[in-house]
Structure 1
Amino acid sequence: MAGKDGDVVHHDFYTAERWNNWINQVKESDFKFDESDEPQGKEGAIFVNMEDDIVLACLKIIAKCEKGLISPESALEYVAQVRDIALAEIDPISEDVDMMVESLQTSLMGGFAACEAYLSGDYDNSADIADLVKVALEAEFSDDIEIALGTVAEIGALVISGKELTEKIMEEVPYGLVAEWLDGIDSISAAMVGSDSYKDDEADDGK
């Protein structure tokens, strides 16, 4: 696959087939919320793994860019391709599953926005994450969703650059769009402190 500027990458970072495999697993899981309305057990873990899979694909793109193997412009194109796959509308499966998929996609919106902000350099590296969270929440409260998402994207870019989104900050965020988007940022943070194999150059076998 080649970017518009001639960069060549020898494997897809993420494919529609891979995403559809996850959706098929979700269909087979017969997932349901329990009485506490919390996702439970192995079935609930599928959604976590789906999100991790997407996040790692995006981090691989960023790693290739940082190594100079692809340009920021091509990296942005690749992230957009992954985003289009993961955020495409899913045919209804069941009420509980549909709710979880919608939540997952909302969370991923924050992650994609973060990657785009990082790759485009559209953030202030000296900004304070706690302050930005307040700005995002104020924007959400005022129904200025574009500002809210843009601010979450800045937070995510800072996390990718090495700053910490602490548990204390996350715990103080009331449930809403910003909270769900920040969950996507938290997934990026967790992936970065886990295995760093996404930085390797080996082709992904898609498993």
Structure 2
Amino acid sequence: MPEHEMNQVPPYEFYTQKRWENWLGRARESGFQIKETEEEVGKESAVFVNMVDDVILACLKVTARFEKAMLSKEKALQILEEIRDIVLSEVDPISEDIDLMIDSVQTSLMGALVAFECYVMGDYEGEASIDELIKAAVDAEASDNLDLALDYTAQCGAIVLKGQSLPEEAMAELPYGIVAEWLDGIDSISAAMVGSDSYKEFDEDDEEDAV
């Protein structure tokens, strides 16, 4: 394709404001309420799980193209920052229960997004122990050093993106807190990678993915 035509091709959109607003609309329509039975909660809460998965899939598409050198480090980080700005922006109140769930979604996504950024930056040790990083994150949270806790969480996620698994025992023993919610986002990355590798599929000649 001639260069002047390439410049006219609209940029490939990995995730959009409209997409996020559509999910917020579905959350609003779900009428979600925190109920007594897990079965009822599970049915209505599926929209929130899917919200997280959709964002993570978009980020996995970014890293897949970064790994293929179809996106530069700078471009990949720019796209991830744009996704972060969309999904972590303040959401207008809907209802007390739905607001709580959206807050939880955004907290999980925070953990996932810093992991993707850490992975692209290469700011982690690939052979580091996830168990030890999780313990360090929990200890940092207990000391009210949330910046350090988030950094350890990001490194956990980067290592998961590199191919390691989250240790089930360490995850099961996590104390309730913000690190546990951040690691839920990492767990969602792991599940998405195991569930399907469709995010790796793209047309090699598709100019939309070009840097």
| TM-score (norm: length of structure 1) | 0.91
Runs of 4+ in structure 1 displaced over 2 angstroms? 35-39
Larger radius of gyration: 2
Which residue number in structure 1 is paired with residue 48 of structure 2? Answer: 47
3-state SS of paired residue (2:27):
helix
Distance in 2 separating the partners of 1:168 and 1:124: 22
Answer with 55-64 or 160-169: which moved more.
160-169
Which residue number in structure 2 is paired with residue 28 of structure 1? Answer: 29
Distance in 2 separating the partners of 1:106 and 1:88: 11
State whether residues 130 and 167 of structure 2, in contact with CA within 8 Å, keep that contact through their aligned partners in structure 1: no
Shift of 1:35: 2.2
Shift of 1:167: 1.9
Distance in 1 separating the partners of 2:134 and 2:122: 19
| Residue segments in structure 1 that go unaligned for 5+ positions in a row | 1-5
Shift of 1:36: 5.7
Which residue number in structure 2 is paired with residue 179 of structure 1? Answer: 180
Matches within 5 A, 1:194-205: 194-201=195-202
State whether residues 110 and 152 of structure 1, in contact with CA within 8 Å, keep that contact through their aligned partners in structure 2: yes
Structure 1 residues 38, 96: CA separation in 2 closer, same or farther (over 3 Å shift)? farther
Which residue number in structure 1 is paired with residue 154 of structure 2? Answer: 153
Matches within 5 A, 1:2-81: 10-35=11-36, 40-81=41-82
1:125-168: CA deviation from partner (whole Å, max 9, x where unpaired): 12100011110011000000000000000000000000110221
Distance in 2 separating the partners of 1:138 and 1:67: 37
Distance in 1 separating the partners of 2:120 and 2:23: 27
State whether residues 32 and 39 of structure 1, in contact with CA within 8 Å, keep that contact through their aligned partners in structure 2: no
Structure 1 residues 90, 37: CA separation in 2 closer, same or farther (over 3 Å shift)? farther
1:95-151: CA deviation from partner (whole Å, max 9, x where unpaired): 000000001100100000000000000001121000111100110000000000000
| Letter of the 1:88 counterpart | S
Which residue number in structure 2 is paired with residue 95 of structure 1? Answer: 96
3-state SS of paired residue (2:155):
helix
3-state SS of paired residue (1:40):
helix
| Letter of the 2:64 counterpart | A
Distance in 1 separating the partners of 2:10 and 2:74: 13
Matches within 5 A, 1:102-141: 102-141=103-142
Distance in 2 separating the partners of 1:38 and 1:130: 32
Distance in 2 separating the partners of 1:95 and 1:15: 26
| Residue segments in structure 2 that go unaligned for 5+ positions in a row | 1-6
